Amino acid sequence: MQASEVEKPRIVILISGTGSNMVAIAEALQKEESDSGIDAEIVGVISNRPTATGLEKAQAMGLHTDIIDHTLYASRDEFDHALIRMIEDLNPDVVVLAGFMRILTADFTRYYEGRLLNIHPSLLPKYQGLNTHQRALDAGDDIHGVTVHFVTEELDGGPNAIQAIVPILDVDNAQNLQQRVHAQEHIIYPIAVKWFCEGRLTMKGNEALLDNKVLPATGIQLQS
């Protein structure tokens, strides 16, 4: 097989809403020859919400889309097992959670261990869960940010790959802080996906490695 015939890494992206991070990753694929580009293929975009506007964006970019409505399943386990079957039909190398607003079961996270990425709007391990921007303001923090991490059974607790640090300004409220953090999401998520697709970013035990070197607990940190 010639090099040009080697199959590209296959990405499945899970969304629940606007899909802005999905778009950022898809756009990075379109410029694969540049330093920031990703040489891979998005083989599917799956939403648990039929009305998610990200589905229309994915379709406009020529991407395959599927819907799996979580309200039609009697339990979280039943939904997750059906989701696994849908994902496996697409034969992915990596599954990317991009605003997928479901808490995944241990069975699901174990099945995709080491090839499941998520983005969370805080400098993990700080502020796991919701309302991260207001919590950072209430705590009087000087900095806030966003983290891409591997997913494990612990909610927002897997090893960190990369963080973007966002300074908190005196004039900030939760809304404008969220907007600045959101802009950084679109920068660091494609970077992490690129590293993974190149075989540079891996997970071993409960540690993230880049180029076979264990990353610090924060992952790589970028200043915004």
User: For the stretch 149-179, what's the b/e string if a residue is b when 16 or more beta carbons lie within 10 angstroms of its beta carbon?
Assistant: bbbbeeebbbbbbbbbbbebeeebeeeebbe
Pairing of strands 94-97, 220-223: unpaired
Cβ atoms within 10 Å, residue 57: 19
Question: How much helix, strand and coil, in percent to the nearest 5, is found in the chain?
Answer: 35, 25, 40
Q: Catalytic residue among 120, 133, 144, 186, which?
A: 120
Q: What is the dihedral of CA 204, 205, 209, 211, to 10 degrees?
A: -30
| 182 given a catalytic annotation | no
Catalytic residue list: 120
